[in-house]
Structure 1
């Protein structure tokens, strides 16, 4: 299920992406900013090729590690777009380190084979869910930098992050709103069309994945209502965002980790 099931090409792409991410994260001081930026772009490209190959180039697999890997790849894509608008946005080190970790994790734990009876609409369901993961992951990264900057301001330290705090806050909640819409669509597809999606004869079941997904949806709904109706900001809003993201992480990644690694069987 782990290393032996990953193809040589997937392992090669994973190692190449991890090295490129590592150069970006830890080699900027010696090699210069230009080399670091080129390295993170190369890592992101190799990372994307690895994901495409694992989903379309060989027997399709998916699991907790590929879910984390796709999420990190999407977050890095958002960072690449934002860095064009805000060139001094200082998130490359954190995202490169995260990318190196998850790309290796996905190579060693590529997940389980897709069920033969699964619906062709299942990839759409996955795409919506993983896109919501990516948007909420981006919101969490922004919230963490925002909180760190506010703390540094209180300590009278240099809090420069390459983006005004109010702009960072607005972007954070735009990502939350977009992620909430995609999560809503994912839940509707999963709850209403589960039998058709997974080719299963079993009726809708209320399992850990469903429970945590619905709970995270409710928390994000409360967060958006609280911000719109009561003007929630700062630590309170960030704390609720972290809680919702934590439950969402447990919903799929957590349940798949327990089934694949702890219990050693497919869902």
Structure 2
């Protein structure tokens, strides 16, 4: 299969971004916090430039790898803000490695062109969906940090100045709530305005794999939030439901587009 290659500038920025992330991940253990933050900030800036070049290209493209790239950038943006308030957060190496991987994927698999009949509002619809991905991704990162902190407490290992468990838990559910709101808006837009958004390409609500997994993810997150509000779910139970919902959401768009673009080699993104 011959992959459609993005612009030379986009490829160059993608490679430079992946290299910056990889170097940050490799050197994180040898650099002090300030130096690592600066290196990660440079990679984040290059990443933003690469995404911007993709948005203003002559032929708008989208797919599973660009979606993952945007999601990773959003998670890194959240981390950049939070690290100012909670300097104890120590996931720079993991996030840098994740950034390098997804940016390289976006270079190799740049996605497929959007339908020519699609509405100008379609990018906004996609942005809402990917923003919800980013928020749920941030929630998963915080849930993992909570698990790590609990393990350190049980084993009496790790630094003593970690972010308190209750703070991590509150942050996790704030991201879940925000992601749920955006996911709800995305699904409602798809339900009521699909023909307007996609033009002649889609007529009415389409029960494809993407829609089924999206609805299943929405129901899972709804159960999680109700369980939290009514029954005080927390700890391992809440994290398991969160991970299940995140996996379903990942299968919804990223999984379906991966099958279409890579395994079946089909055309325009929808």
The TM-score normalised by the length of structure 1 is 0.96
1:47 matched residue in structure 2: 47
Instruction: Note the alpha carbon deviations across 1:13-44, whole angstroms, 9 max, x for none.
Output: 11111111112211133344333221111111
Structure 1 position 160, deviation (Å): 4.8
Structure 1 position 190, deviation (Å): 0.8
1:242 matched residue in structure 2: 243
Instruction: Note the alpha carbon deviations across 1:140-190, whole angstroms, 9 max, x for none.
Output: 000011012112222232265731111010000000000000000000001
Structure 1 position 58, deviation (Å): 3.3
Are 1:2 and 1:108, in contact at CA under 8 Å, matched by a contact in 2?
Answer: no
Report the Cα distance in structure 1 between the residues aligned to 2:72 and 2:194, rounded to whole angstroms: 26
Structure 1, unaligned runs of 5 or more = none
Query: What is the correspondence of 1:21-32 to structure 2 with a 5 Å cutoff?
Result: 21-32=21-32
1:204 matched residue in structure 2: 205
Structure 1 position 130, deviation (Å): 0.6
The verdict on how the C-alpha distance between 1:3 and 1:205 changes in structure 2, with shifts beyond 3 A counting, is closer
Are 2:191 and 2:204, in contact at CA under 8 Å, matched by a contact in 1?
Answer: no
Instruction: Note the alpha carbon deviations across 1:57-84, whole angstroms, 9 max, x for none.
Output: 3311000000000000000000000001
Query: What is the correspondence of 1:79-98 to structure 2 with a 5 Å cutoff?
Result: 79-98=79-98
Structure 1 position 98, deviation (Å): 0.4
2:226 matched residue in structure 1: 225
Are 2:194 and 2:203, in contact at CA under 8 Å, matched by a contact in 1?
Answer: no
Secondary structure of the 2:102 match is: helix
Report the Cα distance in structure 1 between the residues aligned to 2:33 and 2:157, rounded to whole angstroms: 24
Report the Cα distance in structure 1 between the residues aligned to 2:266 and 2:140, rounded to whole angstroms: 31
Query: What is the correspondence of 1:99-138 to structure 2 with a 5 Å cutoff?
Result: 99-138=99-138
Are 1:2 and 1:109, in contact at CA under 8 Å, matched by a contact in 2?
Answer: no
The TM-score normalised by the length of structure 2 is 0.95
Alignment length (residue pairs): 267
2:149 matched residue in structure 1: 149
